[in-house]
């Protein structure tokens, strides 16, 4: 288990040693590099311990992503170009998002004029702080809740994985 898997060296080594492995990464550029390097290793590319273990290639891997929930809001907030977009996001967050226990929605809305006067960057910072970070992704225990829209195929895969 490699929680900060970077370029995936640990996974490639485990693959070559015929061991099961799980790697976790959140940086998109690193994930792309990992996938590319793993595909090369499966094709037999000689790096790392390849020669010492007689690596000729083979094997496979499954790539999975967590189902996003509040993370979707966070990404949209960061991408927003206008205050109007942020206003719409706030409405959606109140309806479907998980807000921090520190957020008093009525008080926030009553001070909408003050919020509107802030710079777009300050508005983004505040909205990001409003999100409950414990709900950035859909919890496994919630995958059957229709609101999250988890497909039957993904439910089956999760249930097989977590067994």
Residue 123 lies in a domain: yes
Distance between CA atoms of residues 52 and 5, nearest Å: 23
Instruction: Provide the domain count of the chain.
Output: 2
- Other CB atoms closer than 10 Å to residue 50's CB: what's the count? 17
- Taking residues 100-125, report their average pLDDT: 96
For the chain, what percent of residues have pLDDT higher than 70? 100
Residue 135 lies in a domain: yes
Residue 74 lies in a domain: yes
Residue 61 lies in a domain: no
Distance between CA atoms of residues 30 and 5, nearest Å: 8
Q: Could you tell me if 149 and 74 lie in one domain? A: yes
- Taking residues 120-142, report their average pLDDT: 96
Q: Could you tell me if 42 and 76 lie in one domain? A: no
Q: Could you tell me if 92 and 162 lie in one domain? A: yes
Q: Could you tell me if 48 and 101 lie in one domain? A: no
CB 112 within 8 A of CB 145: no
Query: What residue numbers bound the domain in which 17 lies?
Result: 9-53
The chain-wide mean pLDDT, for the chain, equals 95
Residues 6+ apart with CB under 8 A from 110: none
Q: Could you tell me if 106 and 146 lie in one domain? A: yes
Q: Could you tell me if 80 and 153 lie in one domain? A: yes
Residue 4 lies in a domain: no
Q: What is the pLDDT of residue 97?
A: 95
Q: What is the pLDDT of residue 163?
A: 80
What phi and psi values does residue 97 have, to the nearest 5 degrees? -85, 170
Q: Could you tell me if 88 and 16 lie in one domain? A: no
Distance between CA atoms of residues 100 and 41, nearest Å: 43
Residue 160 lies in a domain: yes
User: Model's pTM, two decimal places?
Assistant: 0.74
Residues 1-38: pLDDT tens digits?
999 999 999 999 999 999 999 999 989 999 999 999 99
Residue 58 lies in a domain: no
Distance between CA atoms of residues 99 and 130, nearest Å: 6
Residue keyed to tokens 């993904």: 154
Q: What is the pLDDT of residue 161?
A: 85
Q: List the beta bridge partners of residue 104.
A: none
Q: Cα angle vertex 11, ends 141, 45, to 5°?
A: 140
Residue 59 lies in a domain: no
């Amino acid at each position: 288990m490699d929680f900060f898997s970077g370029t995936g060296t640990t996974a490639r080594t485990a693959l070559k040693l015929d061991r099961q492995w799980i790697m976790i990464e959140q940086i998109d550029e690193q994930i792309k590099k990992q996938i590319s390097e793993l595909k090369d290793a499966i094709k037999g590319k000689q790096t790392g311990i390849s020669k010492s273990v007689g690596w000729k290639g083979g094997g496979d891997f499954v790539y999975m992503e967590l189902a996003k929930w509040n993370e979707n809001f966070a990404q949209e907030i960061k991408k927003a170009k206008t205050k109007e977009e942020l206003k719409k996001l706030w409405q959606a967050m109140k309806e479907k998002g998980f807000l921090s226990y520190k957020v008093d929605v009525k008080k926030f809305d009553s001070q909408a004029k003050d919020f509107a006067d802030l710079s777009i960057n300050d508005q983004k910072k505040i909205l990001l702080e409003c999100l409950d970070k414990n709900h950035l992704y859909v919890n496994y225990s919630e995958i059957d809740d229709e609101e999250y829209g988890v497909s039957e195929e993904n439910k089956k895969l999760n249930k097989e994985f977590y067994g």
